Amino acid sequence: MSRSYRSYAKLNLFLYVTGRRDDGYHTLCSLMAPITLHDELEFDFSLQEVRVICDHPLVPEDGANLAARAAKLFFEQVRGRIAGAERGEKSEGVGIRIRKRIPVGGGLGGGSSNAACVLNALNLAWNHVLSKEELYHLGLMLGADVPFFIDGVPVVATGIGEQFEPCPDLPHFHAVVCDPHIASSTVEVYKKYDFQLTKIKNYNIKRSLNICSEEQGADIQDYLHNDLFEPACGLYPGIRSVKEEMEQLLTQQVFMTGSGSSLFALFSDHNQAQYACDRLKDAFGNRAAFYLTALR
C-alpha cells in the first residue's frame, strides 16, 4: 500500500530577530506563509523498517534525513499505545520516496516541511493516534519550523518559531522565488547576527495581523523585511548580487526568506508574475533558478 502527499514550502514575509535565549536559540517575530511550491512524498507502508530515498544528490538518505528522523520519532511515540491486533498489517516501518522540488538550503523550509508531512501522513495511517498537540511537540523536537508545517496556514510566529497567531486574511499574492544556487547555513547566519550592529525594529503582533487583512487596505509589501539578510550577505555576498540584479530587472523590491539564500518578489497579478519569471529566467540563464508560485 502506498500513498503520495505534497510537502509545501514557505516564505517568511517578514522576519525580526527579537532576542536570544540562554540555550542559544534566537527568538523572532515572523509572518510565515505556505506557498504552492512543493516536494512530493510517496509512502510505502509495507516495509519493516524506516527507509528514505530522495532524487536530490545533496539530501541524505540515512538517519540524518529529517523525514527519516520524523518517522522514527513517530514510531517511538506510538509504541505500546496500540495493541498488535489493532495495528492490522502495519509495522513500525515505512518507505519514503522524496521527489525534491523545493531548493535545498534556501530558507524555504523544505526539510522541515518533509518532516511535518511524514508526521501527518503516519498519524493519518495510524488512525490519528496522536493529538494535534502531540504532533506539534514532536515537530518541535525535530526543528523550530516543523510545527508550522503541521497545519501549514499563514501565521505570525514568535518564540523560536513555535508560538502562532493565525493570519487567516492574508491577501493572495503570486510570488517569483529565486534559487541563487547558494546553500546557506542557518546556524552560521544566526551566529553572524549581531544585536549591537543591527537595529531591531519595534513590532506589534496584533498590528502585524491587521496589516495582513484585505479589509485594512494596507499594502503588505510595505512591511516586508528580514533581519537576517545582512548577516547572510556577510557570509554569502552572492545573495546581495543576485537580489540587486533582480531588482534592476523587475524595478521593484526583492526580499530574502528565512536565513537565505532564496529570494522572492510578490505580485498581485498572475500575468505580471509570469512575465517577471520569464524575464528573469532569460536574463540569468543557468546562474539561478526561478519558480512561479503563490501564497496558499
Q: Give which of 157, 154, 189, 194 is closest to 262, Cα–Cα.
A: 189
Q: Which residues pair with 290 in a beta bridge?
A: 178
Q: Please pick, among 39, 100, 145, 243, the residue that the annotation labels catalytic.
A: 145
Identify whether 201 is a catalytic site residue: no
Q: Give which of 147, 116, 131, 139 is closest to 5, Cα–Cα.
A: 116
Spatial distance between the Cα atoms of 78 and 131, rounded to a whole number of angstroms: 11
Identify whether 199 is a catalytic site residue: no
Within 13 Å and on the Cβ side, how many CA atoms surround 251?
1
Cell of 257: 526568506
Cell of 245: 540584479
Cell of 167: 493570519
Q: Give which of 141, 132, 175 is closest to 34, Cα–Cα.
A: 175
| Residues belonging to the chain | 296
- Residues assigned a catalytic role: 10, 145
